[in-house]
């Protein structure tokens, strides 16, 4: 496909790129998050099992500090992706108008969109952030609410970026494709590739 074709059908290309980027990243996002937990558990030398949606371990030397690091490792992976996406979108905000026709723009948007998990964390007592609050001796809602507020700012920036670029429709389609990718991983592909321990 030539550049002239891209120019004639920008919305079509944006929709395709958005759908692919979100579907790919949301499909593997949970595995990347759990991979953070798995790496932390391996660092401490624990007997670890990585499944499609959970990381279990057996440890004889478990301490509050090591368990806190283990629970924080997954969210830190998410933070890294969100930060990468934000930096890309921010530093390219005044670049040429064809940035929305590049895969990097849509993968960056998908990275930022993954912050949505922190919008529901204040309402989930078993979320990593809630457990970290408890381990630090605070009410379980504290860390989730601390993350909730900047997440709202992040989403405002994302929506504003796409509003300026006139790409809110591809963004919405991308999110829908991402959710389909997530459901495909969670219910079909994931359990086959990395089943939970029975």
The mean pLDDT value of the chain amounts to: 94
pLDDT of the residue at 168: 97
Average pLDDT over residues 42-71: 96
CA atoms of 192 and 117, how far apart (whole Å): 24
Q: Which residue has the tokens 């809602």?
A: 141
Q: What is the pLDDT of residues 82-127, one digit of tens each?
A: 999 999 999 999 887 789 999 999 999 999 999 999 998 889 999 9
| Residue 92 CA: distances (Å) to CA of 19, 186, 187 | 21, 33, 36
Give dist(CA 68, CA 175) in Å, integer.
31
Domain ranges for the chain, please list them.
12-193
pTM tops 0.85, yes or no: yes
Q: Map residue 6 onto helix, strand or coil.
A: helix
**pLDDT number for residue 14:** 97
Q: Name the band, by pLDDT with cuts 50, 70 and 90, for residue 166.
A: very high
The conformation of residue 54, written as its DSSP 8-state character, comes to: -
pLDDT, mean of residues 150-170? 96
Q: Which of 5-9, 63-67, 175-179 has the lowest mean pLDDT?
A: 5-9
Q: Cα separation of 140 and 157, whole Å?
A: 28
Give the confidence band of 8 by pLDDT, cuts at 50, 70, 90: low
Q: What is the pLDDT of residues 41-52, one digit of tens each?
A: 999 999 999 999
pLDDT band at 197 (very low <50, low <70, confident <90, very high): confident
Angle of the 168-184 helix axis to the 142-165 helix axis, nearest 10 = 130
SS3 of the chain: helix, strand, coil, percent, to 5:
75, 5, 20
């Amino acid at each position: 496909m030539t550049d002239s074709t891209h120019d004639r059908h920008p919305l079509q290309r944006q929709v395709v790129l958005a759908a692919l980027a979100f579907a790919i990243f949301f499909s593997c996002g949970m595995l990347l998050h759990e991979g953070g937990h798995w790496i932390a558990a391996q660092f401490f030398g624990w007997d670890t099992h990585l499944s499609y949606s959970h990381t279990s371990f057996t440890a004889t030397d478990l301490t509050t500090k090591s368990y806190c690091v283990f629970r924080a490792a997954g969210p830190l992976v998410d933070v890294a992706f969100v930060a990468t996406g934000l930096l890309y979108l921010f530093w390219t905000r005044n670049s040429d108008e064809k940035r929305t026709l590049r895969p990097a723009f849509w993968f960056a948007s998908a990275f930022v969109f993954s912050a949505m998990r922190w919008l529901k964390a204040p309402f989930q007592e078993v979320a990593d952030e809630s457990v970290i609050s408890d381990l630090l001796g605070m009410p379980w809602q504290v860390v989730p609410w601390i993350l909730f507020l900047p997440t709202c700012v992040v989403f405002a920036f994302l929506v504003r970026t796409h509003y300026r670029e006139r790409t809110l429709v591809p963004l919405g389609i991308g999110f829908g494709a991402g959710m389909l990718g997530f459901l495909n991983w969670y219910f079909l592909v994931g359990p086959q590739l990395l089943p939970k321990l029975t």
